[in-house]
Amino acid sequence: MKKDIIEKGAILQRDRETYAIAPHIPGGLTDSATLRKICDVADKYRLQLKLTSAQRIALFGIKEEDLDAVWSDVAEKPGAAIGLCVRSIKICPGTTHCKRAVQDSISLGMKIDALYHALPLPNKMKMGVSGCMLSCAEVAVKDIGIMGIPKGWRILVGGNAGARPRLADMLVETSADEGAVLAVVDRIINWYRNCGREVRLGALVEELGIERFRAAVLDQL
């Protein structure tokens, strides 16, 4: 029986025959040449396209024997759409475009993407970065959510929009300095990698309680 082919970023579809792939498009930021290239690949192999909730473009209907050729033609890295790893970093337009923004979510989010996208972890992890408290990147339901506030950034942990929905807890607020946020994110990731458990981060936050989680993760900052 066919199944997902993780090493090729290929997700078996409902027909149990064809696959979908989703090239990595950090933050959903792309350009017309990349879009044309993806459209050309879709035309060449007669694939369907879908914009995903992880700010990617998925290509559906790929035959198993075409997977390598499709990836070669797309010529982009796979997005981490499956597997136990950092899956996606959702990023709102922030101060680059949005009139309501108070922080530069694109700059911070792209740095986080470059550092952690696809990093293997005990379970899947989703992140979000919003440029203001309106939270268009849905940071309250991300494992790590980062929200721009007037004086800097608010970091939330343990959110999950899945089968057991959970709103994230507020971990800490930092200055506007991106380095301060990145230091906290690094502490969370390292603690999670070494925790010896295979559950989502939110389950651990719930088990420990946010006060003990905060102490465990931030004690050396």
Q: Is 106 in the site for ligand SF4 (CB under 6 A)?
A: no
Min dist CB 130 to ligand SF4, Å, is 4
Q: Is 158 in the site for ligand SF4 (CB under 6 A)?
A: no
Q: Which stretch binds ligand SF4 (CB under 6 A): 33-41, 90-98, 170-178, 193-201?
A: 90-98
Q: Which of residues 122-141 bind ligand SF4 (CB under 6 A)?
A: 130-132, 134-136
Query: Please, what is the Cα angle at 80 between 153 and 124, to 5 degrees?
Result: 65
Is-contact 155 181, C-beta < 8 A? yes
Q: Is 98 in the site for ligand SF4 (CB under 6 A)?
A: yes
CA distance 46 to 62: 8
Q: Which stretch binds ligand SF4 (CB under 6 A): 42-50, 94-102, 150-158, 178-186?
A: 94-102
Reading the block at residue 142, the tokens are 């991300």
Is-contact 91 28, C-beta < 8 A? yes
Strand order in the sheet with 48-51: 11-12, 19-21, 57-62, 48-51
Judged by the rule CB under 6 A, the positions of this chain that interact with ligand SF4 are 92-94, 98, 100-101, 105, 130-132, 134-136
